[in-house]
């Protein structure tokens, strides 16, 4: 089974079957990752950076280029919901920290109250 190494402060390696999207693999491993569309490539919140093993994932699709820009191919950006494991090779991914939207909204509301 292919291995996915999630880099960052708490680096760890998980396994997922061939054909699994990075989003599904990360969610199955309880790795926090942003999403609001549930994996249908409309929110672009699931972006990750593949630092090794891009050749072991399905090719970038037009939807990803539309969301991430043409630079995606150069720097390894992918929508985790669209990138699927294609073989037994391993990949390394950087997963951005999940933003606490409720906390951000609460902080903004507090700032607005102070201005009044
Ligand atoms: S989960 Fe929404 S674009 Fe990937």
- Let me know how long the chain is: 116
Count of structural domains within the chain: 1
In CATH, what number is assigned to the domain containing residue 102?
A: 3.10.20.30
Query: Quick check: CB of 68 below 6 Å from ligand 1?
Result: no
Q: Which two tokens stand for residue 33?
A: 């990752």
> Which of ligand 1's atoms lies nearest the C-alpha of 36?
2
Å from CA of 33 to ligand 1 middle: 10
Q: Is the dihedral of CA 99, 101, 104, 108 positive or negative?
A: positive
Per-residue pLDDT tens digits of the chain, which is 116 residues long:
999 999 988 899 999 999 999 999 999 999 999 999 999 999 999 999 999 999 999 999 999 999 999 999 999 999 999 999 998 899 999 999 887 777 888 888 999 999 88
Q: Is the CB of 79 under 6 A from ligand 1?
A: yes
Stated pTM of the model: 0.86
| Segments forming the whole domain that contains residue 73 | 3-115
Question: Cα torsion for 55, 44, 61, 77, to the nearest 10°?
Answer: -30
């Amino acid at each position: 089974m292919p291995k996915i190494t999630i880099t960052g402060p708490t680096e760890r390696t998980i396994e997922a079957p061939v054909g699994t999207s990075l989003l599904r693999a990360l969610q199955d491993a309880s790795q926090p990752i942003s999403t609001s569309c549930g994996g249908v490539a409309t929110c672009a919140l699931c972006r990750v950076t593949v630092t090794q093993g891009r050749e072991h994932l399905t090719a970038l699709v037009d939807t990803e280029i539309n969301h991430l820009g043409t630079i995606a191919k150069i720097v390894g950006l992918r929508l985790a919901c669209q990138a699927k494991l294609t073989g037994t090779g391993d990949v390394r991914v950087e997963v951005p920290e999940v933003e606490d939207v409720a906390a951000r909204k609460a902080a903004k509301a507090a700032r607005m109250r102070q201005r009044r």
